[in-house]
Amino acid sequence: MKKKNITEQELDFTDVFFKEVSEDVQNDNIKAFWKKYGVHIIAFVTICLTIAVSFETIKHWRDLKNQEYSNAFAYAQSLYNQGETENSLKALTDLVNHGNATYKDIASLKIINILLEQNQTEDALKRLEDFSRNAHKEKLKNAALMKLATYKADTLSAQEMSDLLSPLFKQENSAWQMEAKELVALCALRDGDKKQALALYEEIAKAADLNDILRSRVQNMISVLTSTGDNK
């Protein structure tokens, strides 16, 4: 019996047949997969698109609001420069009441500075004391507390000054800590307690990251106190 040879045409037909079967199987698998997970895929894509659009919308809204607050502050500053103090204070107060955290702080500080320039010191210091407790930014709180302490340095004892500035003494690596100690030292010196003042100045002088201006000022005070020979 003769062995039948498979022609190239028959081989091509076989390849085509198996390819078509394979494609049909793949299509069936895709259909089954889509039938099972299609709703979930659509939901996932929809959520991703919604999040992306929402993020861009919120970012755009924040940018617009920040520009609005910036314009409001510039307008208040312009009013003050033109001598319209009352209108400027009204505009700044509105920004304090309706602005975001950053512009609330900025406007509050500007109001305090205007009141100080207008010699409304009592009102300004009350606001400054409140700001030093409630400002949104810790750095601004510290700066406000130091400014408040500076204005009260003539009336507070060394102990009262130390109590006022205690929040700064509790903060490690505070940029204001050494300046705060210097204020307490000045109050002690004014109270006649040269020993406490010298001890504080020497403590300040040992600080590693002391700025040159403060270091020079402190070293001069140490020289003056030690040269008198009376540190009681």
Check whether residue 136 and residue 203 sit in a common domain.
no
Check whether residue 197 and residue 216 sit in a common domain.
yes
Which amino acid is located at 167 in the chain? P
Q: Which range marks the domain in which residue 101 is found?
A: 32-152
3 state DSSP class of 171: coil
Q: How many structural domains comprise the chain?
A: 2
Check whether residue 38 and residue 144 sit in a common domain.
yes
- CA atoms of 200 and 179, how far apart (whole Å): 11
What are φ and ψ of residue 25, in 5° steps?
A: -65, -45
* Tens digits of residue pLDDT in 24-50: 545 566 666 566 666 667 777 777 766
168: in domain: yes
Residue where a domain terminates, one of 134, 152, 170: 152
8: in domain: no
Check whether residue 36 and residue 106 sit in a common domain.
yes
Residue where a domain terminates, one of 109, 128, 152: 152
Q: Give the list of residues 6+ apart from residue 225 with CB closer than 8 angstroms, or none.
A: 194, 197, 198, 201, 231
Check the CA dihedral 11-13-19-21 and report its sign: negative
2: in domain: no
Q: Which residue has the tokens 């205690």?
A: 166
Check whether residue 43 and residue 93 sit in a common domain.
yes
Check whether residue 42 and residue 132 sit in a common domain.
yes
Check whether residue 176 and residue 215 sit in a common domain.
yes
Check whether residue 195 and residue 126 sit in a common domain.
no
Q: Would you write out the chain's pLDDT as a tens digit for each of its 232 residues?
A: 444 444 555 445 455 444 554 555 455 666 665 666 666 677 777 777 666 666 656 665 566 667 888 888 899 999 999 999 999 999 999 999 988 888 899 999 999 999 999 999 999 999 999 999 999 888 889 999 999 999 999 999 999 999 999 999 888 777 789 999 999 999 999 999 999 999 999 999 998 888 889 999 999 999 999 986 555 5
Check whether residue 184 and residue 113 sit in a common domain.
no
8 A C-beta contact, residue 103 and residue 76: no
Check whether residue 217 and residue 183 sit in a common domain.
yes
Check whether residue 59 and residue 125 sit in a common domain.
yes
What are φ and ψ of residue 227, in 5° steps?
A: -75, -25
